[in-house]
Amino acid sequence: MTPRGSALASQTETTPPALSARLFETRRLSIELTDGLTPEDMVVQAMDDASPTKWHLAHVTWFFETFVLAKHLPGYRVFDERFNFCFNSYYESQGTRHPRAKRGLLTRPGISEVFSYRAHVDDALARLFAKTGEPDGDLARLVEIGINHEQQHQELFLTDILALFAAGPLRSAYRSPKPATVRRSDSAHLNWIAYAGGIHPIGHSGPGFAWDNEGPRHETLIHPFALADRLVTNGEWLDFISDGGYRTAALWLADGWSTVNRESWQAPLYWETHDGQWLAMSLEGRRPPDPNAPVSHISYFEADAFARWSGKRLPTEFEWEVAAAPLAVAGNDLGTRALRPLAAETPAPGVPRQMFGDVWEWTQSAYLPYPGYRPPEGAIGEYNGKFMVSQQVLRGASCATPRGHSRPTYRNFFYPQQRWQFVGLRLASDIV
């Protein structure tokens, strides 16, 4: 377990692992995350947005089979021709597929066959690298995409298991409660950090991997703004609830207010009252929300309403990136194994805390293409571009984000009503 204080050192070690080593370490982590789950746990789908563990394990394997092995390993034998229909997600170019909302009906293939599928593909990947040496060129690009794709599904794996266990009557825990693995302090005090306006470069520019939606790098005009140096806490959210935040229409966007009333929202997802006390479902089972830890599992609508109640606003994704760009990419991510958002550390003057880890942060920015954006050609071009409508950008990382999967330019995106992920908020304000 790596404490937050040593995260910077771990990020700056000399030579990064070879691409093939990173690939197989990523593949091993996916299996490690299934420790303690029963076969029954891995087949059930809690809701339309979530997928069964078994499906995640098979889908990321299908990705390597379809886009790497079938194209780059002569004579590769597809494990099962039927799996393309079962485990394709949304790639229209790869043919028809099983409906997303019915992935929980895939009782066959069984979990043992899915593990055999993974072993078959891993063996083939090892043969490919024995033949080609370390990947380069187009092969290296596809392997890197596959690694990052599997890391995304590792986070989804954890959030979908939480959704499943929260829906069950036993409120089962994914793991036994553990003490915090990161040293923290009382985060009651909040500082504001001022940033100058001007024209700032935004977006990724070599070297290193980035998704296509992180570019092209371009210049953006940003007006002077201030950013809270930490995330909004559960304690502050309890104040919002007590002050009638979920009952005050004037705080809400129209679609948000309709959603609050239609869904009967009274608190973040997974919160419920028991004997007059709030309890929140976590990967460690139900527990009282830590008042100093970041609030999590809230929608964009809730984040926006809280910001209005506070007399502030959400940052734009460009403001967030300007603040994050000079910082070390370190925080309470999956590498700490805390598996829950944790309270902020002692503040350092002028340095924002919790930018990477704990919870993804809603921004007020719509998920749109950057100027000059063109999706890649072929099936990989379906990965991001076709979703650039009706969603909001989130920045940062969460306690379930695999280490090495964060950077200042990373653009996550969800629909404004979605809240099953580890998502929270940071406040911003204008400087007039």
CATH of residue 133's domain is 1.20.120
Within this chain, do residues 154 and 196 fall inside the same structural domain, yes or no? no
Within this chain, do residues 123 and 13 fall inside the same structural domain, yes or no? yes
Within this chain, do residues 130 and 244 fall inside the same structural domain, yes or no? no
Cβ atoms of residues 301 and 191 within 8 Å: no
Report yes or no on 186 lying in a domain.
Answer: no
Within this chain, do residues 153 and 231 fall inside the same structural domain, yes or no? no
Within this chain, do residues 150 and 298 fall inside the same structural domain, yes or no? no
Report yes or no on 172 lying in a domain.
Answer: no
Within this chain, do residues 92 and 196 fall inside the same structural domain, yes or no? no
Q: What is the SS3 string spanning 302-333?
A: HHHHHHHHCCCECCCHHHHHHHHCCCCCCCCC
Within this chain, do residues 151 and 196 fall inside the same structural domain, yes or no? no
Single-letter code of the amino acid located at 424: G
Report yes or no on 182 lying in a domain.
Answer: no
Per-residue pLDDT of 313-357, as tens digits, reads 999 999 999 999 999 999 999 999 999 999 999 888 999 999 999
Within this chain, do residues 221 and 104 fall inside the same structural domain, yes or no? no
Report yes or no on 175 lying in a domain.
Answer: no
Q: In what order do the strands lie in the sheet with 423-424?
A: 412-414, 392-396, 360-366, 423-424
- Nearest-Å Rg of the Cα atoms of the chain is 22
How far is CA 377 from each of CA 88, 226, 386, rounded to the nearest angstrom? 19, 40, 13
How far is CA 71 from each of CA 1, 138, 142, 338, rounded to the nearest angstrom? 38, 10, 10, 39
- Domains contained in the chain, number: 2
- Position 177 scores a pLDDT of 80
Report yes or no on 176 lying in a domain.
Answer: no
Within this chain, do residues 158 and 207 fall inside the same structural domain, yes or no? no
Within this chain, do residues 285 and 413 fall inside the same structural domain, yes or no? yes
- Position 8 scores a pLDDT of 28
Give 124's contacts (C-beta < 8 A, 6+ positions apart). 65, 69, 73, 76
Cβ atoms of residues 214 and 411 within 8 Å: yes
Burial of 334 (0-12, 13-18, 19+ CB in 10 A): buried
Report yes or no on 144 lying in a domain.
Answer: yes
Owning domain of residue 424: 192-430
Report yes or no on 32 lying in a domain.
Answer: yes
Tokens linked to 182 = 């990161």
Within this chain, do residues 239 and 366 fall inside the same structural domain, yes or no? yes
- Position 180 scores a pLDDT of 57
Within this chain, do residues 262 and 386 fall inside the same structural domain, yes or no? yes
- Position 377 scores a pLDDT of 83
Residues 377-403 as b/e (b if ≥16 CB within 10 A, e otherwise) read eeebebbbeeebeebbbbbbbbbbbbb
Residue 404's DSSP bridge partners are none
How far is CA 25 from each of CA 18, 147, 229, 402, rounded to the nearest angstrom? 11, 9, 34, 12
Tokens linked to 187 = 């985060």
- Strands (E) across 146-276 are located at 192-195, 198-202, 218-222, 225-228, 271-274
Count of CA atoms in the C-beta half-sphere (13 A) of 125: 29
Count of CA atoms in the C-beta half-sphere (13 A) of 431: 15
Which CATH number do you get for residue 215? 3.90.1580.10
Low-confidence ranges of the chain (pLDDT < 50): 1-14, 183
Report yes or no on 158 lying in a domain.
Answer: yes
- Position 12 scores a pLDDT of 36
Cβ atoms of residues 199 and 187 within 8 Å: no
- Position 119 scores a pLDDT of 98
